[in-house]
Structures are given as C-alpha cells and as structure tokens.
C-alpha cells in the first residue's frame, strides 16, 4: 500500500467518523427550533467553517469547483446571502412526512422555494429537518435575513442551482456541519 492510498483511506475513515458523530450529536432532537437567538452560527467537525458571498446563479457550480480545487484543507465551505422580499420567494412548499429509519418511524419536515434576485438570478433553496416543524422562520419579508447555504446537486439535475440551507440568522443551529477536504492536486 503506497502513502497516497493510506492517506486516502485515513481521510475516508476520518470523514465517516465525523459524519457518524454529527448524526449522533445533532440528529436526535425533534423539538421546535428556537428563533430570535443571537448565537446562530453553526458548529463544525473535521475543520473550520469558511464563508464566501454567493456568486451569480450561472457561476455557482464553477465557483464551488474552483473553491474545492484551490486547496487540500478540510473545511466546511458555505455561501452567505442576505434574502429579503416576499415577492422574491417563489413556490414556497412545506412537506411534512413520515419515513422509516433504523430507529423506527420518524417524521420529517422539508421546505423548498425559489429565490429570485434581480441582479444574480434564481436559486432553488432547500431545508429539511427530522420531526414535525413549523418553519415560519423561512418566510421572507422586507427585512433582510442572512443565510448560510451549501451547493448540492449538479448542473445536469436542474436548471437552477440547488442550495441547502445550513444556517439562518436568528435561528438556533440544528446540525453539526462536517468539513470536506479540498481537492487540489498534489
């Protein structure tokens, strides 16, 4: 086994351990999320959190790829955007369902909507959490609200970039974020 293979195996094992720890530490709370909190910044495992401004929708995928390939450091890479305006939030959908898990049946709440920005284009935003929730904190109004989002999916899946909501200004953190190693060639 060469050094690179050993390093790849170690990285995979560390990533798997971090995911398991994140699920165990943050995935068991079905209670309502607190709003109006001042400490809304998420926590991470496996590396620090780095944020950047969200680029225009047509450049999100290429920008994220360049970000990943710019270094080898493990970190959580989040885009930051301030959302506002009820008329900018299109197709707001809440789905509460029930599914089977290894620990039995569990409820889940999923929210999707399209955010339209006059300058940067349109994005599809998604939020989900185990349990039955009333996600009014995702509804937009005339007051700007800061969101941290992470790119999910590929350009081939949909015409709009899909962004997973990872943190919302004023809403208690609901999950532990797991760092991903960069992909810079060595």
Which residues lie closer than 8 Å to 21 by C-beta, 6 or more apart? 45, 176
* Average pLDDT score over residue span 126-136: 91
Query: Cα-flanking dihedrals φ and ψ of residue 47, to 5°?
Result: 160, 170
Q: What is the pLDDT of residues 74-112, one digit of tens each?
A: 999 999 999 999 999 999 999 999 888 787 888 999 999
If pLDDT is split at 50, 70 and 90, which confidence band does 5 have?
very low
End-to-end CA distance of the chain: 18
Q: Where are the alpha helices (DSSP H) in 46-129?
A: 60-69
Which residues lie closer than 8 Å to 144 by C-beta, 6 or more apart? 82, 83, 84
Q: According to the model, what pLDDT value does residue 4 have?
A: 46
Looking at the DSSP bridge assignments, the partners of residue 93 are 112
Q: How far is CA 154 from CA 25, 63, 78, 114, in A?
A: 29, 13, 16, 17
If pLDDT is split at 50, 70 and 90, which confidence band does 12 have?
low
Which residues lie closer than 8 Å to 127 by C-beta, 6 or more apart? 110, 111, 112, 135, 138, 164, 165
Taking the C-alpha atoms of 85, 89, 95 and 99 in order, what is their torsion angle to the nearest 10 degrees? -100
Instruction: With beta carbons less than 8 A apart as the criterion, state whether 165 and 126 touch.
Output: yes
Higher pLDDT, 24 or 100: 100
Q: What is the pLDDT of residues 36-54, one digit of tens each?
A: 999 999 999 999 999 999 9
Q: According to the model, what pLDDT value does residue 18 have?
A: 46
* Average pLDDT score over residue span 162-169: 96
CA angle 42, 176, 73 (to 5 degrees): 85
Higher pLDDT, 104 or 174: 174
The residue whose two tokens read 């900018």 is 88
Instruction: With beta carbons less than 8 A apart as the criterion, state whether 126 and 103 touch.
Output: no
Q: How far is CA 172 from CA 58, 76, 175, 176, in A?
A: 31, 18, 9, 12
Q: According to the model, what pLDDT value does residue 99 have?
A: 84
**Res 29 pLDDT > 90:** no
Name the average pLDDT for the chain: 86
If pLDDT is split at 50, 70 and 90, which confidence band does 142 have?
very high
């Amino acid at each position: 086994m060469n050094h690179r293979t050993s390093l790849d195996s170690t990285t995979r094992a560390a990533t798997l351990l971090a995911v398991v720890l994140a699920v165990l530490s943050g995935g068991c709370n079905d209670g309502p999320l607190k709003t109006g909190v001042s400490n809304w910044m998420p926590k991470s495992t496996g590396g620090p959190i780095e944020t950047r401004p969200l680029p225009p929708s047509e450049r999100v995928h290429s920008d994220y790829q360049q970000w990943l390939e710019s270094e080898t450091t493990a970190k959580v890479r989040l885009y930051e955007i301030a959302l506002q305006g009820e008329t900018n939030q299109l197709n707001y959908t809440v789905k509460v369902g029930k599914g089977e898990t290894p620990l039995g049946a569990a409820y889940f709440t999923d929210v999707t909507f399209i955010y339209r920005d006059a300058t940067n284009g349109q994005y599809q935003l998604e939020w989900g959490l185990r349990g039955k929730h009333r996600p009014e904190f995702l509804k937009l109004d005339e007051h700007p609200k800061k969101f941290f989002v992470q790119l999910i999916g590929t350009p081939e899946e949909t015409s709009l970039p899909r962004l997973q909501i990872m943190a919302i200004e004023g809403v208690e953190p609901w999950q532990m974020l797991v760092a991903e190693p960069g992909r810079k060639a060595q």
